[in-house]
């Protein structure tokens, strides 16, 4: 009889692997780490969100002991409203993370049935044969944790999203001594954040941003508008601290920024001196050089406060000469052109703008190569699985692990759905489970498949041509010329003659063909063939052709 | 009587200003600098290319003396096939640039009527009252020039796209002494490349890439595949040089890469030792460590050679273990995710991959802040107009100019279409001319307007619902239930019941309403209102609704 092995299965990331959900399975117990959402890629037209495919879990619902969340970012908690009603298991997290989960679940009315439980560093939670202990890590949100998981065959460490910051703004520095202690005892497996495995050196401390903000607020002649992610609570703290130092009042603009700020203040994760926070409608009562505004919009999102402010479309705030804008974030890949447009709009209005290319106004929340090597050195795992990153990041992280002495055969660069089985001495990828993506579009989860998306793509390129063909109910013969209506294909006035001609061509072809009564499948194919060819010759475009036959 | 003034009008860039076309006008003479194309932005669905709106020039065709091209990149020559047949004026360029223009014009059968003329550094061409003298500059393509333009009110310098490279691979270094001489005499106006005005310091020399390639080819255990832009002839030269040093043979893969390489070899802009270039079909005859492949695909373009190679879809080349891939280019903003996907595919097949984040395998072709300041210092212009860049780049370049002593009032940050009028002593923006963009989609230039694009956007998000309503020709009453066909809206099987129900709802509403004969405009609005509301309630999606009435 073979001894039972530990299974590791990353599930659901679009290009990132094991980011949004990861499954650990040992005999009859399953533990899930994180349940996040992904933002749709460019070609997923009209899709709002993408969530992991949890069919593997649904088939093994009785084995599932709980979901453990490492921190409160969307890509780690955002799928809970969709998967929790189906899985119905306890969700473990730290306090701030739970606050953020509550907000999410409330929005979708899934809070009532949710079984949310707290855990804290130093405590151990038993989930079947797994004993899970969170340890504090530094990331761009407070209360983030990594996980130390005792299993029957050894200790597993999951880093969560982390960097090493010895002077963090909120939260505690990563608990290195706990990990060193663990490494000394010997550990089985490390799964570690690979997001910045391409970057040499160390990620700078949040402190450098504090220094930049201090310098900017000291020298700005007028208002300072800082824009960042609403979840970046430590950045908001830095803004408040710098504002306080320079006797400026802080006004939080926008719903999501206000929601998070209030929640973080209530839970004590954000600290503001008395009277420093003002209501946006009172902003006019203060002189410009006593004002700091905090808004979302660092990604150039069209509905965000900053973009509305830049476009003079905001109720309370317009850009005025002398304003200083700080974009305290880097564009997420894909958002560059939106961000650049926003920057240009701000420059055109004469604002001073500080952004990543010009000043140290943002640092990211993931460890660079030296930090990743340090973690590997402390934990000293027998096996290593890089997670959280695109394939090349994982692959490079694997090379780093090899460079610090992990045996090459014990490093597993997985793809989503891969089933890795680990024993005390060896590991092996033994299979693949379904790990597709589930699209969320409007109210519906999962109905959008390849056909709908393919049609949207086709429609988006060259539009549609609808053809109505009337045939005589008795004789089956064509009645009149077919009607043609287009949308998104050509300018119908300029191409009136061409569209007209295509009706003639159709009439002739169908008349000619109809010695016998017109048959639908025949007409359908014939109309598509003729029009596709004709329109392509005339325009080099390929609209979707949609013929209808009506009996009159 | 006021003295005539020099007009400067940047025309046609999408976000970049004065990049693709710039107009200079003095009394009855107009000179155009460059005629390039733009690549469509994400929301310009189905658009192939964008070209400048030349209506200003068409209205003044009799004044137009010629088009002067600074270098052979698409964004400086790519609109010629579209605008030249309308404008019909001489086009001046250096030899390699003319070679590239010929290739372009031949493709669109516009070569025969084109009046292409050569000019060379040191020569002066008279175009009405303008005397134009090109001077060599360094850029990422050989034979690039800046322009020294004598006008009746003073000397104008246009930098073209440039950087300062004292050890260029092909072409001559920027002619600084000519510019210094000019500056000593006093110059009226400098228009200078702002692309990298955000970057402090100096742009590194092409030489650093040569060193990286040398190092990579020396150490690669197998084949080396270098991918770059086909226009980056100096990079191809560096690949050939490094290959020659390490006794590797060079195989050029792909049509556009072959076309450019052959043209550059013929014109003498590319030099290859005898026997080093091989035919791709013979690549199998050489040992892996004697092979270098050069391909396009550095932007992850789906039809490029590299992407087909990575996806095992290429006739002659597949990735094999031990291959080393060099991406000698940085992703153009907007292409990041395509490039990242290609990288991941290569990593998955076990290739070694060098790209900008990991190694110095690319340098760009534009000057950084110190180079821009040096040019300003040499030319010592009275007036300064930053060009070639998005608004923030121009604005930052304007600040640089101020920092080196140009009078603030004499610095003009323009937008496309702005008319700047310059006299000997002062300048002023006096108006705005039409400078929209002209969309090229398939064969048609300019017919795609707001309506077509808006429809494509709508179709791309939630698809379309076509409704066929039959009414009795005599009574005007509804006949049967309306037919509904959808594309790109929902999964029709899963939503069968909903679609069915919407037919019932429509029947009822229309039946009810039709005490009198059904009127089309009434039905049209009614159907749209009812279905939009119902579908949004059911799905939170907003498909385009397209109703038809058929009399039976």
Token digits of residue A36? 């996040």
Is residue B457 in a domain?
Answer: no
Cβ-based burial of A42 (10 A; exposed 0-12, middle 13-18, buried ≥19) = exposed
What DSSP designation does A139 have? Answer: -
Token digits of residue A518? 């017109």
Segments in A319-449 forming alpha helices (H): 336-348, 369-379, 391-403
Q: Which residues in chain B are closer than 8 Å to A490, comparing Cβ atoms?
A: 444, 447-448, 452
Query: What proportions of chain A, in percent to the nearest 5, are helix, strand and coil?
Result: 35, 25, 40
The residue among A394, A488, A492, A543 with the most chain B CBs within 10 A of its CB, best to mutate, is A488
Is residue B419 in a domain?
Answer: yes
Final residue before a domain boundary, out of A391, A412, A445: A445
Question: Who has greater pLDDT, B6 or A231?
Answer: B6
- pLDDT, tens digit, 9 for 90 and up, residues A489-498: 988 888 899 9
Is residue A393 in a domain?
Answer: yes
Mean pLDDT for chain A? 91
Question: Who has greater pLDDT, B216 or A254?
Answer: B216
**Residue of B114, B109, B112 whose CA lies nearest to B35:** B114
Asked if the Cβ–Cβ distance from A344 to B15 is below 8 Å, we say yes
C-alpha to C-alpha distance for A365 and A205, rounded to whole angstroms: 9
Tell me: do B221 and B310 sit in the same domain: yes
ipTM, 2 dp: 0.83
Q: Which residues in chain B are closer than 8 Å to A451, comparing Cβ atoms?
A: 491
pLDDT at A516: 60
What beta strand segments (E) does A69-213 contain?
A: 91-93, 116-118, 125-127, 130-136, 145-151, 154-158, 187-193
Q: Does A42 touch chain B (CB under 8 A)?
A: yes
Length of chain A (residues): 552
Total of domains in chain A: 3
A 508-547 → B contacts, CB under 8 A = 538-541, 544, 546
In chain A, whose CA is at the least distance from the CA of B343?
Answer: A392
pLDDT at A110: 81
Tell me: do A369 and A334 sit in the same domain: no
Tell me: do A493 and A418 sit in the same domain: no
Tell me: do A54 and A162 sit in the same domain: yes
- The CATH number assigned to the domain holding A507 equals 3.10.20.580
Tell me: do B107 and B49 sit in the same domain: yes
- The CATH number assigned to the domain holding B311 equals 3.40.50.10710
Angle formed at CA A430 by CA A426 and CA A436, multiple of 5 degrees: 130
Mean pLDDT check: name the lowest of A47-61, A199-213, B80-94, B437-451: B437-451
Helix (H, G, I), strand (E, B) or coil at A24: strand
Q: Does B62 touch chain A (CB under 8 A)?
A: no
Is residue B247 in a domain?
Answer: yes
Number of A–B residue contacts, CB under 8 Å? 196
User: What is the bridge-based pairing of β-strands A224-227 and A324-327?
Assistant: parallel
Is residue A431 in a domain?
Answer: yes
Diameter of chain B by CA atoms? 90
Sign of the C-alpha dihedral computed for residues B255, B261, B264 and B265 taken in this order = negative
| Closest residue to A552, CB basis, from B444, B460, B550 | B550
Tell me: do A34 and A115 sit in the same domain: yes
A 331-390 → B contacts, CB under 8 A = 333-334, 336-337, 340-341, 343-344, 347-348, 353, 357-358, 390
Tell me: do B215 and B338 sit in the same domain: yes
Work out the minimum CA distance from A2 to partner chain B, whole angstroms: 31
Identify the band that residue A512 occupies on the pLDDT scale cut at 50, 70 and 90.
Answer: low
Cβ-based burial of A244 (10 A; exposed 0-12, middle 13-18, buried ≥19) = middle
Q: What is the pLDDT along chain B (552 residues), one digit of tens a residue?
A: 568 899 999 987 677 888 899 999 999 999 999 999 988 877 788 888 889 999 999 999 999 999 999 999 989 999 999 999 999 899 999 999 999 999 889 887 888 889 999 999 999 999 999 999 999 999 989 999 999 999 999 999 999 999 998 888 877 788 888 899 999 998 999 999 999 999 999 999 888 999 999 999 999 999 999 999 888 888 999 999 999 999 999 999 988 899 889 989 999 999 999 999 999 989 999 999 999 999 999 888 888 899 999 999 998 899 998 999 999 988 877 788 889 999 999 999 999 999 988 889 999 899 999 999 999 999 999 999 999 999 999 999 999 999 999 999 999 999 999 999 999 899 999 999 987 788 888 777 777 777 888 888 889 989 999 999 888 878 778 888 899 999 999 888 888 999 999 999 998 888 765 556 567 778 888 899 999 999 999 988 999 999 988 887
- Expressed as residue numbers, the domain containing B478 is 463-551
Helix (H, G, I), strand (E, B) or coil at B209: helix
Tell me: do A390 and A484 sit in the same domain: no
Catalytic residue chosen out of the listed positions B73, B139, B249, B366: B366
The contacts of residue B399 (CB under 8 Å, 6+ apart) are none
Token digits of residue B534? 């119902």
Identify the band that residue A426 occupies on the pLDDT scale cut at 50, 70 and 90.
Answer: very high
Is residue B338 in a domain?
Answer: yes
| Closest residue to A344, CB basis, from B392, B491, B494 | B392
Final residue before a domain boundary, out of B388, B415, B445: B445
Tell me: do A343 and A377 sit in the same domain: no
Tell me: do A89 and A172 sit in the same domain: yes
Q: Which residues in chain A are closer than 8 Å to B487, comparing Cβ atoms?
A: 455, 459, 464, 544, 546
User: What is the bridge-based pairing of β-strands A291-295 and A249-252?
Assistant: parallel
Tell me: do A178 and A46 sit in the same domain: yes
What DSSP designation does A283 have? Answer: G
A 10 A CB-CB count for B123 gives 10
pTM: 0.87
Tell me: do B379 and B305 sit in the same domain: no
- pLDDT, tens digit, 9 for 90 and up, residues A104-115: 898 878 888 899
Is residue A125 in a domain?
Answer: yes
Segments in B110-204 forming alpha helices (H): 176-185
Q: Which residues in chain A are closer than 8 Å to B198, comparing Cβ atoms?
A: 357-358
Final residue before a domain boundary, out of B445, B472, B506: B445
Is A439 a residue whose pLDDT tops 70? yes
C-alpha to C-alpha distance for B457 and B240, rounded to whole angstroms: 46
For the question of residue B366 being annotated catalytic, the response is yes
C-alpha to C-alpha distance for B365 and B387, rounded to whole angstroms: 15
Is residue A175 in a domain?
Answer: yes
- The CATH number assigned to the domain holding B35 equals 3.60.15.10
pLDDT at A500: 93
What DSSP designation does A14 have? Answer: S
Identify the band that residue A170 occupies on the pLDDT scale cut at 50, 70 and 90.
Answer: confident
Mean pLDDT of A192-215: 94
Half-sphere exposure (Cβ direction) of A277: Cα atoms closer than 13 Å: 16
């Amino acid at each position: 009889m073979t001894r039972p092995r530990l299974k590791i299965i990353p599930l659901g990331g679009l290009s990132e692997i094991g980011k949004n959900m990861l499954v650990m399975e040992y005999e009859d117990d399953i533990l899930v780490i994180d349940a996040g959402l992904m933002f749709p890629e460019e070609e997923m037209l009209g899709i709002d969100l993408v969530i992991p495919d949890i069919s593997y879990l649904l088939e093994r619902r009785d084995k599932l002991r709980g979901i453990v969340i490492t921190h409160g970012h969307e890509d780690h908690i955002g799928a809970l409203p969709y998967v929790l009603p189906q899985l119905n298991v306890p969700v473990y997290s730290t306090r701030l993370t739970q606050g953020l989960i509550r907000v999410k679940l409330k929005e979708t009315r899934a809070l009532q049935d949710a079984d949310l439980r707290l855990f804290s560093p130093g405590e151990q939670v038993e989930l079947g044969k797994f004993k899970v202990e969170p340890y504090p890590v530094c990331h761009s949100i407070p209360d983030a944790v990594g996980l130390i998981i005792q299993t029957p065959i050894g200790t597993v460490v999951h880093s969560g999203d982390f960097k090493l910051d010895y002077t963090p703004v909120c939260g505690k520095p990563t608990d290195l001594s706990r990990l060193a202690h663990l490494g000394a005892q010997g550990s089985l497996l490390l799964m570690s954040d690979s997001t910045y495995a391409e970057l040499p050196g160390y990620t700078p401390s949040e402190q450098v941003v504090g220094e930049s903000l201090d310098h900017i607020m000291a020298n700005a002649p007028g208002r300072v508008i800082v824009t960042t992610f609403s979840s970046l609570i430590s950045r908001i703290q830095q803004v408040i601290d710098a504002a306080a130092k320079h006797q400026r009042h802080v006004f939080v603009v926008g719903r999501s920024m206000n929601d998070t700020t209030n929640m973080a203040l209530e839970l004590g994760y954000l600290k503001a001196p008395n009277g420093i926070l003002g209501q946006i409608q009172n902003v006019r009562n203060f002189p410009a050089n006593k004002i700091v505004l905090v808004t979302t919009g660092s990604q150039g999102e069209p509905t965000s406060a900053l973009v509305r402010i830049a476009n003079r479309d905001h109720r309370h705030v317009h850009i005025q000469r002398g304003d200083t804008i700080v974009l305290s974030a880097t564009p997420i890949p894909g958002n560059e052109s939106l961000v650049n447009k926003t920057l240009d709009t701000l420059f055109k209005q004469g604002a001073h703008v500080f952004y990543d290319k010009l000043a140290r106004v943002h640092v990211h929340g993931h460890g660079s190569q030296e930090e990743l090597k340090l973690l590997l050195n402390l934990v000293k795992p027998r096996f290593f699985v890089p997670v959280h990153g695109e394939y090349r990041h994982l692959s490079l992280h694997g090379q780093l692990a090899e460079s610090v002495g992990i045996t090459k055969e014990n490093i597993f660069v997985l793809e989503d759905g891969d089933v890795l089985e680990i024993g005390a001495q060896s590991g092996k990828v033994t299979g693949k489970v379904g790990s597709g993506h589930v699209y969320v579009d409007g109210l519906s989860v999962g109905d959008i498949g390849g056909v709908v998306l393919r049609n949207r793509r086709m429609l988006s390129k060259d539009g549609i041509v609808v053809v109505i063909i009337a045939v005589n109910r008795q004789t089956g013969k064509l009645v009149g010329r077919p009607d043609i209506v287009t949308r998104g294909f050509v300018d119908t006035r300029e191409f009136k003659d061409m569209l007209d001609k295509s009706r003639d061509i159709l009439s002739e072809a169908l008349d000619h063909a109809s010695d016998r009564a017109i048959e639908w499948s025949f007409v359908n194919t014939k109309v598509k063939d003729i029009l596709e060819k004709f329109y392509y010759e005339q325009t080099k475009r390929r609209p979707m052709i949609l013929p209808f036959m009506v009996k009159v």
